[in-house]
Structure formats: structure tokens, C-alpha cells
Structure 1
Amino acid sequence: MAIGLSTAILFTGCADSNYDPTKDWSNDKLYNEAKDEMAAGGYDKAIGMYEKLEGRAAGTPLAQQAQLDKAWAQYKTNEPVQAVATLDRFIKLHPASPALDYALYLKGLVNFNDNLGLLSSWAEQDLAERDPKQAKESFEAFRELVVRFPDSKYAADARLRMAFIKNSLARSDVHVARFYYQRGAYVAAINRAQTTVQEYRDVPAVEEALFIMVQSYDKLGLNQLRDDTKRVLETTYPNSALLYPERAVTKKSWWKFWK
């Protein structure tokens, strides 16, 4: 008798652990509850509800919205890989969706924030000193958005972020060029700095790239190339604080621009 009672309790426990309180909820109720969880910061619970809704309302606009909201929740819980996977799936399955511009924007934002991060803003760490792979992926998502949907309400912000990413990628090359210069690898420094000048002509990082080239040519005794490059630097940046430290102006940190 005791064995039978224990077995009954065991099975009851199993049944309770598999109980789904949302089982009899309508799709609208499930979506609204998920939104309430999001508003309260319960992103993990919201993700679970959105996943259920994707299955229950498959093929409907509500399921598409749930997929996008799930990606946002994953982004808010610092799960960029999962968020991007969710967005890639949405983009593949719903190429004609009216929310496609938002999906592209969010994909760019996920990678953008994953690189910059809150801690980076506190430490004022430059994206240029980190792996540029995700920055490039962010740029491509924003680029696709502004090319395909130039009038999207997300396009203006995407363009600003693209400009920042472009300069950060240029600074990545400059960071490497500076590394070479500091170690006496002047030819390598020149080559890397030239890459910046050639590929990113209209970004602030070009100023330092030119300056590294001037310094490197000087170290190598290539005076004509040094002077030619210096003239380009002076013409392009007449008030360069690198050439004229006394003209230096304190600049606002980039991350404060977004605040």
C-alpha cells in the first residue's frame, strides 16, 4: 500500500512539473502576458511565452510579431547570438514583411551594442581595439536597411551608426599601425596606415593614419615621402592636434553622442 501511495505521489509530481498554465490561454492573452513580462523586465519568461506563441499562431502576423519581440528580449538579456539567429530566421522566412526594416535595424543594433557594450562606455574603450567582425556585420545590416528602405523611420539612426562603425573600423587599422610603429616595424606601420587612407578616406581616423606614415617615413630616412605625406596631412587637417599639440581641443567621448 505504501509503495502504491509513493508511486502515485511520484506520478503526481511529474504531472505537476509538466503543467503549462498557459495551455488554455488564447493567443492574444498569451501575447499580452508576454508583453507585460517584457515591461516588468521578465525577459526570460517573455521569451518562453513568445516561443509558445510562435508555435500556436504559426503563419499569422501575431507569430511574426512574437518572433521579433523574442529577438528584442534576447538582445535585452545579453544573448546576441540567439537574437541574431532569431532575426536571421525572420528575415529568411518573411522577406516581404512590413517589419523587415525593423528586423534589419535590430540585427544591426544587436551587433553594434555587443561590440560597444556598457562596460566599454564606462572604461571609454575604443571598438577599434576589439575584434571588428561583429562591427562589420552590424554595418552590413544597417547598410542593407538604408539601401532597401531609405525612407524607413530607422534609416536616419542607422546612417549615424554606420558612420561611427566606419570610423571605428578605420581606427582598428590605425591601432594595428600604431602597434607596428611602437615596435619599430615601420614598413608594416606604413602599409597598414595606407590601407586606412585608401579605404576610409572620409573618416577622422585618417588623420592619425597620415601622422603614423609621416613618423614612419622619418624613421626610415625617407624624407621626400615624409614631407609629401606631411603636406597632405596639413592640407587635409590644417589644425591637426597631432602636428600641433597646442591646438588640441578636448573632444566629447563618442558614446556620449548616443546618450
Structure 2
Amino acid sequence: MGDSHTSHTGVRFELLGPLRALRDGVEIPLGPPKQRAVLAVLLLQEGRPMSYDGLVEAVWGGSPPVHVRNLVQKYVSGLRRALGDGPLLEWTGSGYRLSGAAVDDLRERRQLVDAALAARDAGELRRAAELVARAEELWRGEFAEGLAAPCLAAERLRWSEKRLSVLEARLAGQIEAGRPFESVHELVRLAAAHPLRERPVELLMLALCRAGRGTEALLAYEELRRRLAEALGTDPGPALRSLHARILRQDPALLAEPVPVG
């Protein structure tokens, strides 16, 4: 996407990785980590006022420092100086409001994923995969990486799950489009990175099966079953057990069936 897509005030904000603000492609220094956390939290309000108490809770949690009011005023003043003309950070009487600003990479990601879903529903699987790949390229690291704040920690977890789900949907679409070989290596890495998550192993088993590597698909199931038993004392879920049974009996329909992408 590049840095040409910015808020109407000329400043581009990004949160899919470390927080960045860019004016004309040049990064704006945003000050110390807590000041950056205040900005990230206010950006996520999308122009809605946030009460003083709500801001303190979001940035510091239930045990803020003694002089937190002074810190909030200091950081707000610092952000006003850093952002200069353009985005407006003001006290409305009911809370702090940041207007004239948007999280541009989040908006672009949403547009790309929506377009990918529309393409998938229209049967344009290759275009859907390309759009999702472009959405993934917007990520530069973890969500709001490096900023310690309860609100941002919760958002980081939520976005990690959303990112994984989109990645899994892209790989499912790739298998469905008849390109299982292209998916195998990425699915092996994904399963290793999330050893107790079942969906990557389910997709890996499908890809291996359709690539004529049924024995490896069964081994992938056994490895996950062992990991789940050791870590949680549970078995794989019904979708995975059903797929395992179908591979064992060499179900011919399995090779041609569409892959569920949800």
C-alpha cells in the first residue's frame, strides 16, 4: 500500500506492528513508550471521546502511579507537539478526543479482507488469495508491538487470533484452488508455531492427502494427538477425528471436496 494512503489531515497512522505516524512518508517521533501507548489507545477510539478514568485504566490498569494525572497531562501535551498541525487532540468536557486521525493500515486491511471475501463468494479463488496476501503484507510485527498497556495487550491477543484466522482461510483457499503443494511448507511452519491449534493441522492433513502424501497426513494427526494428550489430557476435536478416519479408509470423495474456509 505504501505511505500514500493517509488520513485527511496528512498524517498516516499504523498499528499493525510498532505504532508509527508518518507525514509525507517521514516518521514522526512520538516520545516515550507510555506517551505512544496513550496515542494508540486514543486512535482505537476512532474519534470518540475517552474519559480520563477510562484512559488511565486502558494505559496503566488498576494500579496507576501516584502522579498519573500529571503524566496524562504531560503525555497529551507531548502528543500535541509531536503531531503539530493536523490531528486534533482535545479535552471535550467528557473526555479526551483525537479527531482527524485514523488507523490507516487497519482500514486498508479491512478493505482488502472484505474484497477477498467477496471474491471468494464469487468463485474467484485466485483473486481472493491475492487480496488476502496483500492484507498480510501490511503486518510489520505484532499489533502495537512493544507498547505495554492492558488495553493494548487485550487488542494484541484479539488481532493475533484474527490474523491467524485470515491466514488459515487463505491457505484453505489455496488448497481448494488445487494448489496443495504450495501450502504444505507454510502449514508445517504454522502448526509448529501453534502446536495445540487444530486448524493448521487439519489443513496440513488435507494438503498432504491431496498431494498424494496420505501417510504423512496420518503422522501429522498422531503428532497433534500426542501433543494434546500431554499438554491438556484431551483428544483432537470431531472435525479432525472425522478427517483422520476418512484418510484411513481412503475416502475417494476427500480428494475432490471443497475445503471449508471458515
Q: TM-score, normalised by structure 1?
A: 0.43
Bigger radius of gyration, 1 or 2? 1
Greater RCO (Cα-Cα under 8 Å, separation 6 or more): 2
Name the structure where helix makes up a greater proportion of residues: 1
Q: TM-score, normalised by structure 2?
A: 0.43
